[in-house]
């Protein structure tokens, strides 16, 4: 507890004066009588009755005066001292799923590093955790206010990061191989696949790559090098599956890719199904740009269904849910410059959302940090991408910016694959820069944590109001006792 004006406690010197005045006013009054002989026959009073009684009036007066004097001193109860905000950005890129020789993933080691940091914080400190990937980790750490900024990743940044501490949890001994490129060509009834394999290891390796139902080859890949080959694929119009044999690789996600025909099947809901005609037309125009040649089909045949939140995602496909602001209704606008929530990868890749004028339907219940989208996995296995803002609301609306086609293209790429020159779309191909393993190790600098100055004020609660209430109650009770005596 602290006192804002401790010299006000001088008022406590009035307590002896109040006690002296009270004793003086309530002392016994001498009475002159002609004789004391009539007392001889009186029965002795009870011993308890002769004891000094508690002077409740005096205690009430003293309590009121003491409470006022203490309240004037400005007492403040500090439940927590000044604290620090530690902003921790955890890398959630694909390479964080890499498994080390001990069986632990980089993501698990990152969680352990965050837990160790949390255990070292004082009770009044706050750990603010966010996720980012790629080059955005350092920028994300520098956003917002914080006493200490920490990045937890499997690698050290290529450039210096003043003001940001980096904790590296990579495995120096980890190695991996992955498919980094794939494209298919068709000549009559013959289909062939070009594949490239990268060896992310410190030694040369012989890696086998095969096409399901087609050809196979063993590639001699130099350390940290890339090798390629062209393989026969099965005839027909079905998907082409390419697999890499890398059983001891740190990553399994880059060992298989699928090439499917590039025609994208889309079902766009209409006004009868809750999607306004203007929003349906916007989606169709955007698909003409990001997925040329797409075809409209029934929902049961679609790889992508577009509608409102009631739309069912097809099994193995995706649903794009929109939240239009109802006609005549007023949406909720995100303030200019307010923090935006980072969209999940890969749907939020390359999106610049800081300058967007975001307007939400009221049933979305959006608040800061203002979100752009949510990704949900449906029970049937489909993925639902929920766009929370209205693309046709705002000044200018997001539909008139580059962010909207980028967002739709990211959704199409995630569900149907990235387009390739041979007329196929490839699924499961991770960006090479994100799938490259990080092998750096570095612990948090103890001096940086100890030297971080508090940026959060102490949690204080003024005790003046309770003390003044105590004084008022004491004096009210004293006044009430005096009134009852006067009536009596």
Using a pLDDT cut of 90, give the percent of the chain over it. 38
**In 3D, which of 167, 154, 158, 159 has the Cα closest to residue 87?**
167
What is the per-residue pLDDT for 50? 52
Cα 98 to Cα 11, 294, 455: the distances in Å are: 70, 36, 36
Cα–Cα distance, 6 to 2 (Å, whole number): 9
> What's the predicted TM-score (pTM) here?
0.64
What is the per-residue pLDDT for 79? 64
SS3 229: strand
Which comes out higher in pLDDT, residue 483 or 232? Answer: 232
What is the per-residue pLDDT for 258? 92
What is the per-residue pLDDT for 342? 76
What is the per-residue pLDDT for 41? 59
Give the torsion sign (CA, 290, 295, 301, 306): positive
Residues facing residue 377 across a β-bridge = 383
Mark whether 413 and 470 lie in a shared domain: no
Q: Pick from 210, 228, 261: which residue ends a domain?
A: 261
Q: Pick from 261, 291, 317: which residue ends a domain?
A: 261
What is the per-residue pLDDT for 262? 74
Q: Tokens at residue 453, please? A: 């100055």
| Region for residue 316 given its phi and psi (left: phi exceeds 0; alpha: psi -120 to 50; beta: otherwise) | left
Query: Is residue 330, in this structure, part of any structural domain at all?
Result: yes
Q: Tokens at residue 394, please? A: 């705002």
The CA-based dihedral angle spanning residues 50, 54, 55, 56, taken in that order and rounded to the nearest 10 degrees: -140
Q: How many CA atoms lie within 13 A of 337 on its CB side?
A: 1
SS3 119: helix
Query: Is residue 309, in this structure, part of any structural domain at all?
Result: yes
H/E stretch holding 280: helix 277-290
Question: How does pLDDT run across 252-296, given as a tens digit for each residue?
Answer: 888 999 998 778 889 999 999 899 999 999 999 999 999 888 999
Q: Pick from 261, 290, 317: which residue ends a domain?
A: 261
Cα 130 to Cα 70, 88, 141, 172, 334: the distances in Å are: 45, 6, 8, 26, 20
SS3 99: strand
In this predicted structure, the answer to whether residue 301 has a pLDDT above a threshold of 60 is: yes
Mark whether 307 and 403 lie in a shared domain: yes
Average pLDDT over residues 403-428: 86
Question: How does pLDDT run across 130-167, given as a tens digit for each residue?
Answer: 888 877 788 889 888 899 999 999 999 888 889 999 99
In this predicted structure, the answer to whether residue 87 has a pLDDT above a threshold of 90 is: yes
Query: Is residue 13, in this structure, part of any structural domain at all?
Result: yes
What is the per-residue pLDDT for 316? 60
Query: Is residue 34, in this structure, part of any structural domain at all?
Result: no
Q: What would you report as the CA-atom Rg of the chain, rounded to the nearest whole angstrom?
A: 38
pLDDT band at 69 (very low <50, low <70, confident <90, very high): confident
Mark whether 212 and 308 lie in a shared domain: no
Give the torsion sign (CA, 104, 109, 110, 111): positive
Question: How does pLDDT run across 347-400, given as a tens digit for each residue?
Answer: 887 887 778 899 999 999 888 888 888 888 766 567 888 999 999 999 999 999
Cα–Cα distance, 279 to 52 (Å, whole number): 88
Mark whether 247 and 377 lie in a shared domain: no
Mark whether 73 and 96 lie in a shared domain: no
In this predicted structure, the answer to whether residue 45 has a pLDDT above a threshold of 70 is: no
**In 3D, which of 395, 388, 329 has the Cα closest to residue 357?**
395
Strands (E) across 157-274 are located at 165-169, 176-187, 190-200, 205-211, 216-221, 226-233, 240-245, 256-261, 265-268
Mark whether 363 and 446 lie in a shared domain: no
Average pLDDT over residues 211-229: 94
In this predicted structure, the answer to whether residue 111 has a pLDDT above a threshold of 80 is: yes
What is the per-residue pLDDT for 178? 92
Q: How many domains, in total, are found in the chain?
A: 4
Give the torsion sign (CA, 428, 310, 349, 420): positive
The angle subtended at Cα 387 by Cα 143 and Cα 414, nearest 5°, is 90
Average pLDDT over residues 328-348: 85
Mark whether 22 and 163 lie in a shared domain: no
In this predicted structure, the answer to whether residue 183 has a pLDDT above a threshold of 70 is: yes
**In 3D, which of 238, 195, 240, 264 has the Cα closest to residue 413?**
264
Which comes out higher in pLDDT, residue 201 or 351? Answer: 201
Average pLDDT over residues 86-113: 91
Question: How does pLDDT run across 3-39, given as a tens digit for each residue?
Answer: 778 888 888 888 888 888 877 777 767 778 776 666 6
**In 3D, which of 445, 442, 439, 443 has the Cα closest to residue 106?**
439
Residue 392 DSSP label: T
Mark whether 319 and 392 lie in a shared domain: yes
Residue pair 69/471 in contact (Cβ under 8 Å)? The answer is no
Mark whether 405 and 478 lie in a shared domain: no
Average pLDDT over residues 121-133: 88
Question: How does pLDDT run across 475-486, given as a tens digit for each residue?
Answer: 888 888 776 655
Using a pLDDT cut of 70, give the percent of the chain over it. 91
Which comes out higher in pLDDT, residue 297 or 28? Answer: 297
**Mean of the per-residue pLDDT values of the chain:** 85
What is the per-residue pLDDT for 485? 59
Q: Tokens at residue 329, please? A: 């209704």
pLDDT band at 219 (very low <50, low <70, confident <90, very high): very high
**In 3D, which of 163, 157, 102 has the Cα closest to residue 132?**
157
SS3 452: coil
Cα–Cα distance, 221 to 206 (Å, whole number): 6
In this predicted structure, the answer to whether residue 197 has a pLDDT above a threshold of 90 is: yes
Residues facing residue 220 across a β-bridge = 206
What is the per-residue pLDDT for 388? 93
SS3 289: helix
Mark whether 341 and 473 lie in a shared domain: no
Query: Is residue 44, in this structure, part of any structural domain at all?
Result: no
* Neighbour count for residue 303 (Cβ, 10 Å): 22
Query: Is residue 37, in this structure, part of any structural domain at all?
Result: no
What is the per-residue pLDDT for 351? 81
What is the per-residue pLDDT for 474? 86
Query: Is residue 40, in this structure, part of any structural domain at all?
Result: no
Q: For the chain, what percentages of helix, strand and coil (3-state, to nearest 5) are there? A: 30, 30, 45
What is the per-residue pLDDT for 43? 57
Mark whether 289 and 399 lie in a shared domain: yes
Mark whether 286 and 343 lie in a shared domain: yes
CATH of the domain at 212: 2.60.40.10
**In 3D, which of 159, 109, 154 has the Cα closest to residue 138?**
159
In this predicted structure, the answer to whether residue 447 has a pLDDT above a threshold of 80 is: yes
What is the per-residue pLDDT for 30? 77
Query: Is residue 62, in this structure, part of any structural domain at all?
Result: yes
What is the per-residue pLDDT for 312? 64
Structural domain boundaries, residue 235? 177-261
What is the per-residue pLDDT for 360? 95
């Amino acid at each position: 507890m602290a006192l804002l004006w401790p010299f006000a406690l001088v008022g406590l010197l009035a307590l002896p004066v109040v006690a002296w005045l009270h004793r003086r006013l309530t002392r016994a009054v001498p009475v002159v009588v002609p004789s004391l002989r009539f007392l001889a026959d009186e029965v002795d009073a009870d011993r308890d009755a002769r004891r000094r009684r508690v002077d409740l009036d005096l205690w009430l007066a003293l309590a009121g005066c003491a409470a006022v004097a203490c309240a004037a001193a400005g007492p403040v109860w500090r439940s927590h001292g000044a604290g620090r905000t530690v902003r921790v950005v955890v890398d959630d890129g694909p390479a964080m799923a890499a498994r080390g020789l001990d069986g632990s993933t980089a993501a698990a080691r990152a969680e352990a590093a965050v837990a160790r940091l949390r255990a070292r914080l004082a009770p009044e400190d706050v750990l603010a955790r966010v996720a980012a990937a790629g080059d955005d980790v350092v920028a994300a750490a520098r956003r917002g206010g914080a006493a200490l900024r920490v990045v937890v990743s499997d690698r050290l940044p290529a450039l210096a990061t003043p003001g940001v501490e980096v904790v590296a949890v990579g495995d120096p001994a980890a190695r991996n191989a992955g498919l980094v490129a794939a494209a298919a060509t068709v000549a009559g009834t013959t289909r062939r696949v070009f594949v490239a394999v990268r060896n992310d290891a410190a030694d040369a390796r012989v890696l086998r790559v095969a096409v399901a139902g087609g050809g196979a080859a063993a590639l001699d890949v130099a350390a940290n090098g890339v090798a390629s080959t062209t393989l026969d694929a099965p005839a027909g119009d079905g998907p082409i599956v390419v697999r890499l044999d890398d059983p001891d690789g740190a990553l399994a996600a880059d060992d298989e890719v699928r090439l499917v025909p590039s025609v994208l099947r889309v079902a766009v809901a209409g006004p009868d199904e809750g999607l306004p005609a203007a929003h349906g037309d916007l989606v169709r125009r955007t698909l003409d740009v990001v997925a040329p040649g797409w075809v409209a089909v029934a929902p049961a045949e679609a790889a992508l269904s577009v509608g409102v939140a009631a739309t069912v995602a097809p099994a193995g496909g995706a649903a794009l849910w929109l939240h239009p602001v109802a006609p005549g209704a007023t949406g909720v606008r995100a303030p200019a410059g307010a923090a935006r929530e980072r969209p999940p990868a890969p749907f939020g890749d390359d999106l610049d959302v800081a300058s967007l004028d975001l307007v939400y339907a009221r049933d979305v219940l959006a608040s800061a940090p203002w979100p752009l989208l949510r990704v949900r996995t449906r029970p049937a296995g489909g993925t639902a991408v929920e766009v929370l803002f209205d693309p046709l609301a705002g000044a200018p609306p997001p539909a008139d910016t580059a962010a909207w086609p980028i967002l739709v293209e990211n959704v199409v790429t995630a569900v149907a694959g990235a387009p390739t020159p041979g007329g196929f779309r490839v699924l499961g191909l991770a960006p090479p820069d994100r799938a490259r393993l990080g092998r750096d190790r570095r612990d948090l600098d103890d001096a940086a944590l100890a030297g971080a100055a508090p940026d959060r004020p102490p949690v204080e609660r003024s005790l003046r109001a309770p003390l003044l209430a105590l004084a008022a109650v004491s004096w009210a009770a004293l006044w009430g006792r005096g009134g009852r005596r006067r009536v009596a």
